[in-house]
Amino acid sequence: MTGIVVDNVSRSFGSVHAVRGASLEAAPGRVTGLVGPNGAGKTTLLLMLASLLAPDTGTIRIAGVDPSADPLAARRLLGWMPDSLGAWPSLTARETITTTGRLYGMSTADAAARAQELLGVVGLAELADSPAKVLSRGQKQKLGLARALVHDPQVLLLDEPASGLDPEARIQLRLLLRRLAADGRTVLISSHILSELEEVVDDAVFLVAGTVVDAAPAEAIARAWRIRLVGSGADRQSADAWQVASTLGIPVESVGVDRGAVLTAFPDEDQAASALHALVAAGLRVAEYAPAQSVLEHTFLQLHQGSARPTAPPAPPSDDAPGTAIGRGTEDREVGA
């Protein structure tokens, strides 16, 4: 295995158990998302992977290397991007990358050439000679990514890389990460911006209370869908809710409303598609019909609320009731880290 393998790893700080028996794999050529609420242990786990903390129990392998036993070998393989730049505020962006290259054993000329290349890649060419301390949060994130890439690592550990980036820079970051994975690199990314992760990750690992949890039960729970009829508005929400509920044969009390749209839930996409067919066949003019949450968002929220704890998922609704009651929709894309 040339990627990341974590087996039964634990780490405590006094009486605080930050990571508990965590096991996961991140494969080469794929982007793996590390997802969990604040305090779940994500940063502690990343620090252990980066050889900056030693696990109390369990084993870690980075492309076959134990970062606790041979941290220098692991760091040659790793590109580590913490959630803040953290060092050398008086150096310019160019000097930061050049110095990092020299620390990895590159010649002065090679380090300078690599710095010039990476400044262009991350969109900092115009700020190459500006000191790091005057850069914005997003610009420092770009510099941190360039610093992590300077020695062309095979494994990337990225902690909140999109934090502070503007929309265009986030798109560029997604394209870059996909390109790095396509080159055969292993990319492990932690982020609380779930909509960003949804568009870039191949796999997701969910960490709750320091433990990697099985997401399948949460994924099986009915997911909310957003239905907006033509001409919908705040003054028509009640009428639209009644029309949707009566057409689908469910109690109007079992649907919600949110910003001119009706919210109901379906256990799977087949029933969601059948409901859409029923609405259109009834003559309702559907302007919007889509999940109110992404799969990643839905799964995270269910895990965070403890809904994945039961040994079996809840029973799906009966065939004559394609909708399931929900309290409200969730549109906030930035949830706990």
Domains of the chain, first to last:
4-213 (3.40.50.300), 216-304 (3.30.70)
**Rounded Cα gap, residues 158 and 34, in angstroms:** 10
**Rounded Cα gap, residues 17 and 132, in angstroms:** 35
- pLDDT value of residue 196: 74
Plot region of 209 (φ>0 → left; ψ -120 to 50 → alpha; else → beta): left
Residue 140 burial (C-beta neighbours within 10 Å; 0-12, 13-18, 19+)? buried
- pLDDT value of residue 309: 42
- pLDDT value of residue 184: 94
- pLDDT value of residue 191: 81
> What is the CB neighbour count within 10 angstroms for residue 81?
23
Q: Edge to edge, what strands does the sheet with 4-13 contain? A: 16-26, 4-13, 57-62
Residue 31 burial (C-beta neighbours within 10 Å; 0-12, 13-18, 19+)? buried
- pLDDT value of residue 306: 62
193, 293, 333 from 215: Cα distances, Å: 18, 16, 19
Place of tokens 């305090």: 39
- pLDDT value of residue 320: 41
CA atoms within 13 A on the CB side of 127: 19
3-state helix, strand, coil in the chain (%, to 5): 40, 25, 35
- pLDDT value of residue 321: 40
Parallel, antiparallel or unpaired: strands 186-190 and 155-159: parallel
Give yes or no for a contact between 98 and 112, defined as CB atoms under 8 angstroms apart: yes
Angle between helix axes 137-149 and 167-182 (nearest 10 degrees) is: 10
CA trace torsion 33, 38, 39, 40 (10° rounding) = -30
**Rounded Cα gap, residues 222 and 267, in angstroms:** 4
- pLDDT value of residue 11: 96
Phi and psi, residue 333, nearest 5°:
-85, -20
pLDDT in tens, the chain (337 residues): 579 999 999 999 999 999 999 999 999 999 999 988 888 899 999 999 999 999 999 999 999 999 999 999 999 999 999 988 776 888 999 999 999 999 999 999 999 999 999 999 999 999 999 999 999 988 999 999 999 999 999 999 999 888 888 888 888 899 999 999 999 999 999 987 787 788 888 988 988 888 888 766 666 677 788 899 998 777 788 889 999 999 998 888 888 888 888 988 888 889 999 999 999 999 999 999 988 777 777 777 777 666 444 333 333 333 344 443 333 333 333 333 3
Please work out, in degrees rounded to the nearest 5, the angle formed at the alpha carbon of residue 144 by the alpha carbons of 29 and 142: 85
- Please give the single-letter amino acid code of residue 195: S
